[in-house]
């Protein structure tokens, strides 16, 4: 587990969604349950992701397999198959490559000018399961198209 987290840390920090739903599913994992309060207190999603991954790195060797199995199951139950597949590939769902993500960020100014997420794009991404209902709600709660586009891009 440590090797996988360390090798894929930037992708995990970018793609993992430490949502209330995921943390709720992880309440059944004794080792993680004791750390959920601390994870939830983090202000940003990046900080929550880092706190969760740090907690996973602290799992004792004799509990790693059990905790990892439960963590992967929780990820899959929360439609984070692309993240779960970093740990154990079971489908073709993978996170966006760092190269493609960098390209999106590089062109964010143009995307913010010309992309209208309310023209059915978010509905299509949600129905295609590219984004989760939590992503959809978070993006739609932004004020203005510019902030919505930025929220959408940072989802990937």
Closest Cα to residue 31, out of 75, 65, 81, 73?
A: 65
DSSP code of residue 28? G
Contact 122, 136 (CB under 8 A): yes
pLDDT at 76: 95
Distance separating alpha carbons of residues 145 and 140, to the nearest angstrom = 9
104 and 82 together in one domain = no
Which region, left, alpha or beta, applies to residue 129 given φ > 0 means left and ψ of -120 to 50 means alpha?
Answer: left
**Could you read off the pLDDT of 105-136 as tens digits, one per residue?**
899 899 888 888 888 899 999 998 888 888 89
Confidence check: pLDDT of 94 > 90 = no
pLDDT at 115: 85
Q: Domain limits at 68?
A: 2-87
**Could you read off the pLDDT of 29-44 as tens digits, one per residue?**
999 999 999 999 999 9
pLDDT at 39: 97
142 and 105 together in one domain = yes
| Stated pTM of the model | 0.78
Any idea of the CA torsion for 86, 91, 92, 94, to the nearest 10 degrees?
Answer: -30
Is residue 92 domain-resident? no
68 and 113 together in one domain = no
Total number of domains in the chain: 2
Average pLDDT over residues 53-77: 95
pLDDT at 18: 94
Contact 131, 117 (CB under 8 A): no
8 and 79 together in one domain = yes
76 and 11 together in one domain = yes
């Amino acid at each position: 587990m440590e090797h996988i987290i360390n090798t894929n840390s930037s992708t995990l920090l970018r793609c993992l969604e430490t949502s209330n739903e995921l943390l709720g599913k992880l309440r059944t994992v004794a080792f993680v349950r004791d750390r959920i309060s601390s994870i939830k207190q983090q202000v940003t999603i990046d900080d929550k992701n880092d706190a969760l991954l740090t907690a996973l790195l602290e799992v004792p060797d004799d509990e790693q397999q059990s905790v990892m199995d439960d963590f992967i199951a929780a990820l899959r139950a929360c439609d984070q198959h692309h993240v779960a597949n970093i740990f154990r590939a079971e489908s073709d769902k993978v996170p966006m490559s760092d190269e493609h993500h960098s390209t999106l960020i590089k062109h964010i100014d143009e995307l913010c000018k010309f992309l209208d997420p309310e023209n059915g794009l978010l509905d299509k991404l949600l129905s295609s399961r590219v984004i989760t209902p939590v992503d959809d709600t978070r993006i739609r709660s932004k004020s203005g198209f510019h902030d919505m586009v930025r929220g959408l891009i940072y989802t990937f």
